Amino acid sequence: MSITFNCEKCGKKIVAPDEAGGRRGRCPYCQASNYIPSPIKDDEIYDLAPEDADEEARRQKELDEIRRQSHALISELGNPELAAGPQGMEMRDDLKPEDLHGYIVNYCLDMAGSKLDRAKTHLAELKKVKRMARSEVDRFISGDILEPALDAIPAKIRMGFLNTLKAALA
């Protein structure tokens, strides 16, 4: 049998003989010194606990209960406007174009980080106010709005995300 591990420097897969376990050796690709792990015996492998499928549902119930209690407490304190819960963007009378910048920036950052579900959430919020959102995306594309948080994304990729967002808002 042999020991398989990845080089600490270059990340390439290395196969070493069992007797090399517990010592150091050189990577055949980059010559970096690596610790070679000891071989794992079958009696050292343990079954993991089964995944709790109900855990996510339990957490969601807890969050819902916290929200319900918060709204009830606010209602008791006499501010019915707050007790109704957060108002959607499409229902706000005081919505300004700048209020959408966070959604646009987070959409791009989530796309760059391959967090597609989160990006869809931002897109769904922006779709509630399509006309205003599309106008703000155009301002990002034209360079009227410069957001330092987006500087980490290469310009061509950032523009691709913004154009994709604009098309989704059509």
In a domain, 113, yes or no: yes
Q: Let me know if 104 is exposed, middle or buried by CB neighbors in 10 A (0-12, 13-18, 19+).
A: buried
In a domain, 55, yes or no: no
Q: Indicate whether 164 and 93 sit together in one domain.
A: yes
Give the list of residues 6+ apart from residue 116 with CB closer than 8 angstroms, or none: 110
What pLDDT does 91 receive? 57
Q: Indicate whether 33 and 97 sit together in one domain.
A: no
What pLDDT does 51 receive? 60
What pLDDT does 84 receive? 46
What's the pTM value of the predicted model, to 2 decimals? 0.49
In a domain, 63, yes or no: no
What is the count of structural domains for the chain?
Answer: 2
Q: Nearest CA to 126 among 154, 164, 159, 152?
A: 164
For residue 21, the enclosing domain spans 2-40
In a domain, 18, yes or no: yes
Identify residue 154 by its one-letter amino acid code.
P
What pLDDT does 86 receive? 46
What pLDDT does 134 receive? 94
Give the list of residues 6+ apart from residue 108 with CB closer than 8 angstroms, or none: 150, 153, 158, 161, 162, 165
The C-alpha atoms of residue 16 and residue 38 are separated, in whole angstroms, by 10
pLDDT tens for each residue of the chain, 170 residues long = 688 999 999 999 999 998 898 999 999 999 999 999 988 776 766 666 666 667 777 877 887 888 777 767 766 665 544 444 444 565 566 788 888 898 999 999 999 999 899 999 999 989 989 999 999 999 999 999 888 889 989 999 999 999 999 999 98
